[in-house]
Amino acid sequence: MLLFVGLGNPGRQYQANRHNIGFMAIDAIARQWRFAPFRARFQGRVSEGQIGAERALALMPETFMNESGRAVQEAARFYKIALSDIIVFHDELDLEPGKCRVKIGGGNAGHNGLRSITAQCGNDYKRVRLGIGHPGDKALVHSYVLNDFARSEEGWVSALCDASARNADVLAKGDDATFQNRVHLAMEAAGFAQVKKPGEK
CB within 8 Å of 138: residues ≥ 6 apart: none
In tens, the pLDDT along 144-174 reads 999 999 999 999 999 999 999 999 999 999 9
pLDDT at position 200: 67
pLDDT at position 110: 85
Q: What is the DSSP letter of 31?
A: H
Kindly state the helix (H) or strand (E) to which residue 143 belongs, with its residue range. helix 141-145
Residue 72 contacts residue 62 (beta carbons within 8 Å): no
Q: Which residue ranges form the domains of the chain, and what is each CATH number? A: 2-189 (3.40.50.1470)
Local structure of 21: helix, strand or coil:
helix
In tens, the pLDDT along 101-146 reads 999 999 887 899 999 999 999 999 999 999 999 999 999 999 999 9
* pTM to 2 decimal places: 0.96
Residue 55 contacts residue 36 (beta carbons within 8 Å): no
**Catalytic residue annotation:** 19
CA distances from 192 to 10, 21, 66, 130, 147 (A): 28, 17, 31, 14, 22
Indicate if the alpha-carbon torsion angle 87, 93, 99, 103 is positive or negative.
negative
Local structure of 182: helix, strand or coil:
helix
Q: How far apart are CA 75 and CA 57, in angstroms?
A: 9
pLDDT at 46 over 90: yes
